[in-house]
Amino acid sequence: MSSRYDEYAQYDRPRRHTRPRTKDRPNYDDASAGQVVTIDRGRYTLLLDDADGRRIVTAMKSRGLGRKGVVVGDEVRVVGDTSGAPDTLARIVEVEPRKTVLRRTADDDDPVERIIVANARRLVIVTALADPPPRPSLVDRCLVAAYDAGMTPLLCLTKSDLAPADDLVASYAPLGVDTVVTRHDGPLDELESRLRNETSVLVGHSGVGKSTLVNRLVPDAERVTSDVNAVTGRGRHTSTSAIALALPEGGLIVDTPGIRSFGLAHVEADELIDAFADLAEAAVDCPRGCTHGADEPECALDSAVESGTLDSRRVESFRRVLASLSAPTY
């Protein structure tokens, strides 16, 4: 089986630009569209897919962008040599508005909540059913991160050959979280069908089987990573940046090595509840400043459960996720 990355090596030279440019104002009508795949020391690796074919292009930021940040997943417009031939460098002249933004948490090394990935649709929360045992509080924090980022969470429960998935599936079902169960020697089509033609981000702590999944989803992931690093001039991929890999059947999967937790410091209870339309609707009747937690005496979620409008298990699950917001980071 071969990956789409194989196609990147085969491209035609770009057509010559025929449109004249105005002198006074830059005219980027003839700019190509691309997506940022990884970033290393001011060099941006882009995936371009247009009439000239699918290819990897290295670019830098144009001066006109100023201090505007460019992150993995950004949809950008590029000019200059976009052939992708060795030793060529294109220029990023525009960054399209971001559809979603996933941030990593501030830590001792870096006190700023930086964006890990832009424009990803799905956050795949990878949890092993055993070895290591599941950590529900971590899953809950990842769920909050997904909702906050505007992404759809997908719970991927791995190593189902070691332990049953029933309990975990049942605890996330009331929230309507989509779940797939996998094992290294079982089929992956349920996961693959959800990833197709979209940008997804994989998260999970060490040992849960992320690399095993990536290597199956992108059969030549290791070669691609080293090729990308050859382009960016690095011996191996740096752990600080995310890297997007193309899936054979379309779509990108973003691996997040070295990223241990998400920036949730700014997330408020009212923002989280907005991810659940029925709960948000009931909470309209809450007293001002209600945090919707189990200890709130007059939370309208309780009256909605009493009147039968809301399912108590759904409210309980929501409150468990909500509590993870104030729990210490792992």
Ligand X SMILES: Nc1nc2c(ncn2[C@@H]2O[C@H](COP(=O)(O)OP(=O)(O)OP(=O)(O)O)[C@@H](O)[C@H]2O)c(=O)[nH]1
Residues placed in the known binding site for Zn(2+): 286, 290, 292, 299
CA-based R_g, the chain, Å:
22
Rounded Cα distance, 174 and 172, in Å: 6
The C-alpha angle with vertex 42 and arms to 36 and 46, in degrees rounded to 5, equals: 20
Q: Indicate whether 222 belongs to the interface with ligand X (CB under 6 A).
A: no
Which of 17, 21, 68, 184 is the binder for ligand X (CB under 6 A)? 184
Q: Indicate whether 153 belongs to the interface with ligand X (CB under 6 A).
A: no
- Site map for Zn ion, 258-297, x if CB under 5 A? -------------------------x--x---x-x-----
Residue that has been written with the tokens 């740096």 in this structure: 238
CB of 106 to Zn ion, least distance (A): 28
Q: In which element (H, E) is residue 303 found?
A: helix 300-306
Rounded Cα distance, 39 and 58, in Å: 10
CB of 214 to ligand X, least distance (A): 8
The crossing angle, in degrees rounded to 10, of helices 136-149 and 312-326 is 90
Residue 210 site contact among ligand X, Zn ion, none (CB < 5 to 8 Å, cut-off depends on kind): ligand X
CB of 268 to Zn ion, least distance (A): 12
Contact, 146 vs 125, CB < 8 A?
Answer: yes
Binding span for ligand X by CB under 6 A among 38-46, 47-55, 147-155, 202-210: 202-210
Q: Which is nearer to ligand X, 90 or 259 (CB)?
A: 259
| Amino acid, single-letter form, for residue 102 | L
- HSE on the CB side for 55, CA within 13 Å? 23
CB of 215 to ligand X, least distance (A): 8
> Rounded to 5 degrees, what are φ and ψ at 57?
-130, 135
Residue 173 site contact among ligand X, Zn ion, none (CB < 5 to 8 Å, cut-off depends on kind): none
Q: Indicate whether 162 belongs to the interface with ligand X (CB under 6 A).
A: yes
Structure token digits, residue 226: 């080293």
Contact footprint for Zn ion (CB under 5 A): 283, 286, 290, 292, 299
Contact footprint for ligand X (CB under 6 A): 158-159, 161-162, 183-184, 204, 206-212
